[in-house]
Structure 1
Amino acid sequence: MALSPFHLAIPVHDLPAARRFYGETFGLSEGRSAEQWVDFDFYGHQLVIHEHPKTPSQDDVHTNAVDCHDVPVPHFGIVLEWAEWEALAERLRGLDTNFVIEPHVRFKGQPGEQATMFLLDPCGNALEFKAFQDRGQLFAK
């Protein structure tokens, strides 16, 4: 099944810092932009950062326990190929990224085993990057 690109618009209270973060940290290409927003090609999907006052979830991150870690909610991200995830984890470590949850494999030996990492953008939006050795495990119970 071919996946359709999603469109996600998120609030950022510091547009220049967020623009640098998504462009430089992840190497995302910019699309259209205006004074208060910027489009990015987020691994083939459309991510738009919109200037907006700080939201409560950016100021005080809520978490839920998942596999012995406090996962920030809300969050968004992408499922990468395993090698691409490993390369990104190495790149982020090289940039001295302050991870919310360090790169690791969760649900080891269980359905849905996955590599995952969480970090915040400069405006407090939580991102998750994950990978599966077997992508058929994406929705495994």
Structure 2
Amino acid sequence: MQQLHPFHLAIPVNSLEPSRTFYRETLGCEEGRSSDHWVDFNFFGHQLVLHVKESSEANSENSNPVDGKEVPIPHFGVVLSMEQFETLGNTLKEKGITFIIEPYIRFQGKTGEQATMFFKDPSGNALEFKAFKNRNQLFAS
């Protein structure tokens, strides 16, 4: 399998403090550099930067049907190990996170079988966390 490299992603947030608390305390991400208008996080080995958005426009509520569920678009997230996925899912349930799509197994018994869950951060950004039964099938068709 080809070595994967960390990505950099910048996302808009409505307010820095509730978002900072969510990513640090709910998701357990380590905080890095920051200013009054942005903050960096170690997002499972990737750089995530939260930027306060100046506009009051609401996030779009678009979705696509996948496996009988409405998957929000846009969304972002990471691929975890099954153990990390299960631990995070249990932690989020304990913390009362409202799921868009509760943790479940998608494409069961097929190529690309994976566990997945969707939820939103305090600014309405949709996040997906997933774990593959066989990580070598990450890019399988």
State the TM-score bracket (shorter-chain normalisation). Answer: over 0.9
Q: Which runs of 5+ in 1 are unaligned?
A: none
Name the structure 2 match of 1:50: 51
What is the alpha-carbon distance in structure 2 between the residues aligned to residue 138 and residue 92 of structure 1? Answer: 24
Q: Is the 8 A contact 1:80 1:130 kept in 2?
A: yes
Q: TM-score, normalised by structure 2?
A: 0.95
- The one-letter amino acid paired with 2:26 is T
Counterparts of 1:102 and 1:54, CA distance in 2: 29
Cα deviations by residue, 1:101-131 (Å, 9 ceiling, x for unpaired): 0000011111111000000001000000000
Matched, 1:98 2:119: no
Cα distance in 2 for partners of 1:126, 1:116 equals 13
Give the deviation of 1:138 after TM superposition: 1.1
For residue 69 of structure 1, what is the aligned residue in structure 2?
69
Root-mean-square deviation (CA), in Å? 1.0
Unaligned runs of 5+ in 2: none
Question: Any idea what the Cα deviations from partners look like across 1:68-90, whole Å, max 9, x if unmatched?
Answer: 00000000000000011000001
CA distance in 1, matches of 2:56, 2:137: 36
Q: So what's the TM-score if we normalise by structure 1? A: 0.95
**4+ runs of 1 displaced by more than 6 Å?**
none
Matches within 5 A, 1:1-141: 1-52=2-53, 53-56=55-58, 58=59, 60-141=60-141
Pick closer, same or farther for the CA change 1:81–1:55 going to 2, 3 Å: farther
**Displacement after TM superposition at 1:55 (Å):** 4.1
Deviation of 1:54 (Å): 3.9
